[in-house]
């Protein structure tokens, strides 16, 4: 009998392409459900909570009960456990989740997520000064770049790295490629890192290679930010051009 392996699925670039649902998402989720494959959406997004991801899927008529974990969710949980005063940089519609912890004067940590077009020299200097005054750096993730529409742009990781370099302090990174983050998602499915698992993502480093380093099988899908020409020294276990091809791969492994 074929051994069942849990599947972790990146959201942006895999299930959500730009602002739309991937064209093969319906058949993909049907395949997973029909074959009783446990799966979880594991997103490095700092733009939405798991509830907002669920709302997006429901609006697109994806009605399966899908466990979801976003980097924002995991960061919020981490911050509440470890700090009483923080300065948070994230999208305006999400900052309310930190309301009881917000402190602009003497924060214990600077929490960094995506702030869209608000990145500036002044903003980076403000973060830097908080850290020099003793605040920890908490990064929701450390992606180098992403592809929200048709154009690749810098992501949070580039700015987090700048603060780390200038301050000499290392950030607590919550999202992928954090080993803890992968394990948290697997635990939602009743598994852990001692079990074989599969990661499907469009980020060669943070999705695919990160999962391989901790014992997972990495499937790179070319529907997002990574192109075939980007693959050099880092080699995924499998490469797919579409979710239908991913289904073919899952059937074999």
* 14 and 200 Cβ atoms separated by less than 8 Å: yes
The total of structural domains in the chain comes to 2
Is 234 among the domain residues? no
Instruction: Clarify whether residues 159 and 95 are in a common domain.
Output: yes
State residue 112's pLDDT score.
97
Q: What is the pLDDT of residue 102?
A: 97
Residue 197 lies in a domain: yes
> Is 16 part of a structural domain of the chain?
yes
Considering the domain boundaries, does residue 163 fall inside one?
yes
Query: Is residue 203 located within the same domain as residue 113?
Result: no
Q: Are residues 180 and 207 in the same domain?
A: yes
Q: What whole-number distance in Å separates Cα of residue 19 and Cα of residue 132?
A: 38
pLDDT per position as a tens digit, 125-147: 999 999 999 999 999 999 888 77
Q: Are residues 65 and 180 in the same domain?
A: yes
**Integer Cα distance of 65 and 43 in angstroms:** 16
- Check whether residue 88 and residue 169 sit in a common domain: yes
Q: Quick one: pLDDT at residue 19?
A: 87
Answer yes or no: is 238 within a domain: no
Q: What is the CATH number of the domain that holds 39?
A: 3.40.50.1000
Domain that holds residue 194: 9-71+176-215
Q: Do 169 and 184 share a structural domain?
A: no
- Do 188 and 155 sit in the same domain of this protein? no
Please state the pTM of the whole predicted model.
0.84
Whether residue 166 sits in one domain with residue 80: yes
Q: Are residues 79 and 135 in the same domain?
A: yes
Domain boundary among 143, 173, 203: 173
pLDDT at position 2: 64
- The answer to whether 87 and 103 have CB atoms below 8 angstroms apart is yes
Q: Are residues 207 and 87 in the same domain?
A: no
Residue 132 lies in a domain: yes
Last residue of a domain, one of 152, 173, 194: 173
Residue 248 lies in a domain: no
Do 133 and 107 fall into the same domain?
A: yes
Residues 22 and 94 in one domain: no
Burial (CB < 10 A; 0-12, 13-18, 19+), residue 99, is exposed
pLDDT at 151: 79
- Choosing from 153, 173, 193, the residue where a domain stops is 173
The tens place of each residue's pLDDT in the chain, 253 residues long, gives 567 899 999 999 999 998 899 999 999 999 999 999 999 999 987 888 999 999 999 999 998 889 999 999 999 999 999 999 999 999 999 999 999 999 999 999 999 999 988 999 999 999 999 999 999 999 999 988 877 777 788 999 999 999 999 999 999 999 988 998 999 999 999 999 999 999 999 999 999 999 999 999 999 999 998 999 988 888 999 999 999 999 999 999 8
Q: Is residue 123 part of a domain?
A: yes
d(CA 39, CA 208): 16
């Amino acid at each position: 009998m074929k051994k069942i392996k849990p599947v972790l699925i990146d959201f942006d670039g895999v299930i959500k392409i730009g602002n739309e649902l991937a064209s093969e998402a319906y058949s993909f989720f049907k395949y997973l459900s029909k074959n009783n494959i446990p799966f979880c959406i594991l997103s490095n997004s700092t733009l939405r909570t798991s509830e907002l991801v669920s709302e997006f899927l429901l609006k697109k008529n994806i009605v399966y009960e899908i466990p979801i974990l976003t980097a924002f969710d995991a960061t919020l949980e981490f911050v509440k456990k470890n700090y009483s005063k923080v300065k948070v940089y994230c999208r305006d519609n999400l900052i309310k989740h930190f309301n009881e912890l917000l402190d602009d004067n003497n924060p214990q940590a600077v929490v960094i997520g995506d702030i869209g077009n608000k990145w500036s020299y002044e903003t980076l200097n403000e973060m830097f000064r908080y850290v020099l005054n003793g605040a920890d750096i908490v990064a929701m993730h450390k992606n180098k770049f992403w592809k929200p529409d048709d154009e690749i742009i810098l992501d949070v990781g580039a700015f987090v790295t700048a603060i780390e370099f200038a301050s000499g302090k290392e950030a607590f990174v919550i999202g992928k490629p954090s080993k803890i983050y992968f394990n948290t998602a697997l635990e939602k499915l009743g598994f852990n890192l001692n079990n074989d698992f599969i990661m499907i993502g469009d980020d060669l480093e943070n999705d695919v290679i990160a999962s391989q380093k901790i014992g997972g099988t990495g499937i790179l899908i070319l529907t997002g930010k990574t192109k075939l020409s980007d693959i050099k020294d880092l080699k995924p276990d499998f490469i797919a051009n579409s979710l239908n091809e991913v289904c073919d791969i899952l059937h074999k492994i």
